[in-house]
Structures are given as C-alpha cells and as structure tokens.
Structure 1
Amino acid sequence: MAIRNVRGPPAMTLPLFPPDDNALLEERLRALFRSWIDYRSLSTSRLRTERPLKEESAIVYQEMWHAFAAYCAQRKLDVTTIEAADIQTFLMLRESGRASAKPRVCIKGSDLSPRYAWRLLTLIDRITRFHAEREGVAPNRAATELLQRSEYRYANASHRDPLPEFCTDAQAKRLIAYLTEIRHAESPQGPMSWKEVRDRTAVGLMLGAGLTPGDVRAMTLEGIAIEGGRRAGLPWKLALPGNGNAPARETPVAEWAGRRLAVWLSVRENHHIKGELVFPSTLGGKTWSHTGCYESCKTVLEGAGLGNDSGGVFKLRHTFALRQLAKGRTEAEVARWLGLLDLSSMARYRRVMPRPIDVA
C-alpha cells in the first residue's frame, strides 16, 4: 500500500503538557501523524475522509505536518493547547518564508495559496480529532473554527484547484533524449551502471506510462506484456497491482519507453538480479524504498536539466495524461490507466488542454 512509505514507530501518546525538550515534542507530534496514517491505511471505509491516502497525498501531508510540528515544538505547543491565533501565525510565517521547510505545493511566488491553507487546516483538524478520540478527550477546535471563515471555507472550490504541472514539448523531448541515451565504455563517463539504467527506465515509465513512484516500486515482471504488441519483443502494456487505494489496472507504454524497458530487462537478466520486482534496490531483489526511489528519480531529472522545475516526478504522470487526452483518448480511459476512481479528478486536465501538448 502506498501509505506504507510514511509509516514509523508504534503510536505514542502525547502528554497534556509539552515536555521541555523541543526535539522530543516534535518527534511525538510526528509520531502522532504516523499513527494517523497507519489508522487510515487499515480503514475499509469508503468515506473520503477515512479511507487510505494516496501516496502523493500522504507525502504532501507529511511535509505539511512536519513543518507544523517543528513550529509547535519551538513554541511548546501540543495538539491540546494550540489555538487559532497560533495556526494563523504559522500560516503568516509560511507566507513570509520565515518558517522552515517551505511547502512544495500550491505556492506561487511569495503568496500562500488559499488551497494550501485549507489543506493544512483540514489536516490539523483531522489529526486533532483522531488524537482526541484515541485519548478520550475533547477535540481541539482551533482549526475547525478557522475553517468556518470565508477565506478558508471556500478555498477548496473546484475552480481553485491548482493546475497540474506538466512538461513542455521541449522539456519532454530533452528528457526523452536523456533517458534513452546509451553510453559505451569509450564514452567520457564510461558505461552506465545497472542502477543508472534502472533509474532512467523508472523515470521513463513515469513519463511514458503514467506510473507513480509507488507503481514503479511495486511493479512485478509478470505485469509486463510483450506478446501482442505492434513491435515484436517490445513491452507495450503494464499490469499494475492495486495499492489499497487504487484498483489494479493496466496502462499502455509509449514505444520509446518500451524500448528503454526492454534494455533494462536485458541488463537485469545479465546481472542475475533476483526476485520478481522489476525495479529492486539491490541485486538480491530487495524492495526499493520510497526515499531511495525518490532521490534516484530526482537525480535523473537533474541530469536532464529539469531538476529546478516545479512539479517534481508527478509532473511526468500529468504529462502522460495530457498526451493521451490530446490524442483523443476519453477521460474514462485515461482515468482507468492512471488508476483514478473518481472521474471528477480529470477536470483539472481540461483546464490546460487548450495549451499545445506534444510529447514524443
């Protein structure tokens, strides 16, 4: 399941009053977040507020909560003593850039997005309610009160959803050229290591098949379809397992990405890599960790000259979706390939479709 990536130690009960040690308080607040994530991961509810979180959401929420936890620890605040004014101060610090660990999402220039504020308030509200129910105490209503204010209450309206980040035509072509590069022994950098080939192939499938980092880490060899494609011997379709939040699905693979995957499978075989995972972290077949996968893919983007662009690795998945829609695929088809259960999630792509989309 995707949310396993942010799990940690067993639940830790927060004290009614914060300890003197700021680092200890911050760790306890982080542990509360991990307990909430674990609680959600085991949920069988269909309610959006209770079901397991998608990997992308869990990562963003973790980043938001960690920044808030550091702020609370500096001021000796815990989930029972935080007040609305404290949360507003945190938001102002984020906007001014004086708070540590600025968010990666929903920020344009120096302005704090209303949607980011709404997401943070909602996160605080849900975690404080979770803590109150677990400890049998009255919930802290500071975030609840702020959510009733008009500037936050309507911040999550659909017309305010941030537009998806995606690669321009030039960016995509540059990245594809970098991903499909072949280095020989006589090249200045020498031949690629098996991990370099793995990393570039993984990024290639994010752009050429719409995979998430979680998909990359969970994909198995039996899910690669080679027979029946237009090009003999080239992978053309992937079968991906469900992750507890999205259903099992199949997705097509761009021809260039299929060629890159074929190269990786040959390298994988030549190095006698064990196990059934397509992209393990070791020759012995160990699962690629979330952090290891993220850092490796980030390095690939930096090597292609895209390291400073916004959107991260998920912009590759958005580019895949837009490419398919531009080709005339229906929203239902693309949503199925992406593993999206809610078709309304495709609305944000319609808002950028008038822009030229051309990905090789």
Structure 2
Amino acid sequence: MRTDISANGPAKPPSALFDADLEAWRTQPERAFDGWLARHGFRQGTAVVYRAMWGKLLRWSGERGVAPLAWSAEQIGAFLDEQELHKHHRYRYARLIERVFHHLSQLQDGLHNPASQAVRAHLAEGENDPTAFLLPAEREALIARVLAPALVPPGPDGGAPSPTQWKRARDIALVAVMLGAGLKVGEARELRTDSIAADAGALHLVRADNGRAYDAPVFAFARAALLAWLDIRVAAGTLGSLVFPAMPNGRALHAASLYRRVEILLDEAGVLAGRRERASPQTLRNTCGALHFEAGAAPAEVAQRLGMRDLESGWRLWAAFEAWQARTGLTAPPGTGGRA
C-alpha cells in the first residue's frame, strides 16, 4: 500500500482517509483535510505543500484558542502577516483556504468563506509582485506536455466520453485559451460557444464594463486543444452554451475550481517546480501578451487583442515585459526596441 510523505513524516495511508462531514472537519481537521486532498487527486508534491500549509494554520489557530473553521477574514489576514510571507505565498494560502471553504459550503448552505472576504478586503495581498511571465522553456513544456498530446477519442466507437475524458479535455482547453488567447478567469468562465470562430482562430468577445466588442486571436498551438474539447463537449451532450461548464449539465464553473484545474496542469507540465514567481491564469494571460510582442505586435495592438481597458494598458504590459526580461536575464527579441 502506498503511503504519501508529508513535511512532518509519513502521512496517513489511503485507508485512513474518509468523507468528512462538517462536524468531522471541526473535530478532526487534519484527517478531514487529508481526505479532501485525496479526493481532489493533487500531485504528491502539491499535496505535501498543502498539507504543511494547513498544519501551520491549525497550529497558529490552536495557539490562539481559535476553533478550526471559525476564522474571520481579519484573523486570516493576521495569520498571513505573522508568517512574513512573500505575496505569492500569501495568495496561495488564501486560495487554499478559499477552496476548502468552497467545499464546506456544499455541506452547509450559507457558510461564510473568510478567505474570499480576506481577498476582497485586500488582506491577503501584501507587497505587489513584479508582473510575471512564463519563461520560454516553461511555456514550451506546457505546450509539449499538456496542449500538444493527442486527446483520447470520445468513448468506444465514437460514443459518449467518460467523465474523466470530459474534464481532462475541458481543462486542457481552458489552459489553451488562457495562454493562446489571453483570456481572463471571468472571460473563460463566461465564454459562449457562439463566440468561437469555426476554425478556433479567434474568439469574439465583449467587455462587460463598457460593451466594447473585440476579437481575440488564438495562437495556432492552442486551436487543436480547443477544437478537440468542443467535439467532446458535443459528444457528451453537454447542456447550455457555456464553453467551460463545471459539469455536463451546464452549471457554471466556480472560479476557485478554475484556478485549481489550471494549477494542476501547470504542475503536470513541470512549470511550478522550482519557480520563484507565481504562475496563475494571469501569468498565462501575461505570457500571451509576451508572445504577441515577440511576434512583432506593438503595445497598442496587444491591448486591443487582449481586450484591455485602454491602449495605455498595452504600454504598461510592454514595460513590465521589458523589466521581466532584464530581471530574468533574457535578451529582448530582435526588432522590439522602441516600439511606435
């Protein structure tokens, strides 16, 4: 029987994990968390880190006499402050707690999510990090290991795909449109099937704040994954018009779930291993902008292709890209200096 190794030694074997109700989460939070990790299928490295993070939060809580799951947004902010964490790690802590409470909300209606409240109140932010991009080797690994491999065809003899095939194809296509078209989390969650060009070469989008329509071109490396997902989506009889629903019944995908699915694929591609700067859906969007810059697009063009609020945002991204190149020791692409 396999036993995972945690930061504090051997973890409980799978037989000790269980489906915890809300009371079990309050009385046996470590064991309940192990069960949650196992059900979500995190990679071993990620599970080890999450288990250590959860244990540190529980120890801090116990030292202050605060019952597990009774945290307020202010207490989460205080915990993060006392750990003197870099912003990337503060954010990761907040997202982990948010995911746990999202799970708990399915056990009890109306359960407050203190991590979401902490994020909205900017208690989890800390110091601003420099704008991050994927290194060339990281994005190439993501394309080669996640986006490029052929997808398993839907079911035997072209029948309906299995739930695993359905989710896998959806998640790969999610990463594809974030890296290949620069979609934000909200745009990906709300993307409709009639917004995708027939050849998946462009996405027809409308900004929610001002109603401005624009076309987001899709890089060639992302199109096959998106088209394959659309075929599987149809073969499964998926309801509704959302491109990336949570389930075949058409229910919208929760933002925390989207972050989790993207993180799993980034981890699978080896992007998270040893990386100092944060990698997230926003990093994929930034990297899409970098790909446009490297292809010769001017900042104003990139602002239009990414649906930014104004053209000046494209110049800010270009400045951040130049600063990142200097920070990482990369040579600026030929012909990109002094854009008009």
**TM-score normalised to structure 2 length:** 0.56
Q: What's the counterpart of residue 231 of structure 2?
A: 266
Secondary structure, in 3 states, of the residue corresponding to 1:238?
strand
Name the amino acid aligned to 1:103: R
Q: Pairwise mapping of residues 264-343 of structure 1 onto structure 2 (< 5 A)?
A: 264-308=229-273, 309=275, 310-342=278-310, 343=312
Q: What's the counterpart of residue 255 of structure 1?
A: 220
Distance 1:335 1:184 in 2: 36
1:103 aligns with 2:90: yes
Residue of structure 1 aligned with 2:130, choices 157, 160, 163 = 163
Residue of structure 2 aligned with 1:225, choices 187, 194, 197 = 197
- Does the CA-based 8 Å contact 1:171-1:306 persist in structure 2? yes
1:350 aligns with 2:322: yes
- Taking a change above 3 Å as real, the CA distance of residues 341 and 246 of structure 1, as seen in their structure-2 partners, is farther
Cα deviation code 1:13-42 (max 9, x no counterpart): xxxxxxx99569975x53xxxxxxxxxxxx
- Taking a change above 3 Å as real, the CA distance of residues 25 and 253 of structure 1, as seen in their structure-2 partners, is closer
1:67 aligns with 2:35: no
The count of residues paired between Structure 1 and Structure 2 equals 224
Deviation at 1:349, TM superposition (A): 2.4
Distance 2:204 2:140 in 1: 26
Cα deviation code 1:156-176 (max 9, x no counterpart): 9xxxx7432212222111110
Distance 1:25 1:291 in 2: 18
Distance 2:152 2:306 in 1: 35
CA RMSD of aligned residues (A): 3.9
Give identity over the alignment, percent.
27
Name the amino acid aligned to 1:181: P
Deviation at 1:214, TM superposition (A): 1.6
Secondary structure, in 3 states, of the residue corresponding to 2:252?
coil
Name the amino acid aligned to 2:270: G
Moved over 3 A (4+): 20-27, 243-249
Deviation at 1:284, TM superposition (A): 1.1
Deviation at 1:318, TM superposition (A): 1.1
- Taking a change above 3 Å as real, the CA distance of residues 298 and 24 of structure 1, as seen in their structure-2 partners, is closer
Distance 2:225 2:245 in 1: 17
Question: Which ranges of structure 2 fall in alignment gaps of 5 or more residues?
Answer: 1-63, 93-116, 154-160, 334-340
1:235 aligns with 2:200: yes
Q: Pairwise mapping of residues 50-129 of structure 1 onto structure 2 (< 5 A)?
A: 67-68=76-77, 70-71=78-79, 91=81, 93-95=82-84, 102-104=89-91
1:196 aligns with 2:168: yes
Cα deviation code 1:107-152 (max 9, x no counterpart): xxxxxxxxxxxxxxxx99x969xxxxxxxxxxxxxx9xxxxxxxxx
- Taking a change above 3 Å as real, the CA distance of residues 280 and 349 of structure 1, as seen in their structure-2 partners, is same
Deviation at 1:216, TM superposition (A): 1.1
Distance 1:296 1:25 in 2: 24
Deviation at 1:208, TM superposition (A): 0.7
- Does the CA-based 8 Å contact 1:221-1:276 persist in structure 2? yes
Distance 2:294 2:233 in 1: 34
Distance 1:222 1:194 in 2: 20
Deviation at 1:307, TM superposition (A): 3.2
- Taking a change above 3 Å as real, the CA distance of residues 350 and 207 of structure 1, as seen in their structure-2 partners, is same
Distance 1:214 1:173 in 2: 25
- Bigger Cα displacement from structure 2, 339-348 vs 298-307: 339-348
Name the amino acid aligned to 1:275: G
- Taking a change above 3 Å as real, the CA distance of residues 357 and 202 of structure 1, as seen in their structure-2 partners, is farther
Distance 2:322 2:207 in 1: 26
Deviation at 1:333, TM superposition (A): 1.5
Question: Which ranges of structure 1 fall in alignment gaps of 5 or more residues?
Answer: 1-19, 31-64, 72-89, 106-122, 129-142, 144-154, 227-233
Distance 1:127 1:173 in 2: 36
Deviation at 1:209, TM superposition (A): 0.7
**TM-score normalised to structure 1 length:** 0.53
Q: What's the counterpart of residue 181 of structure 1?
A: 149
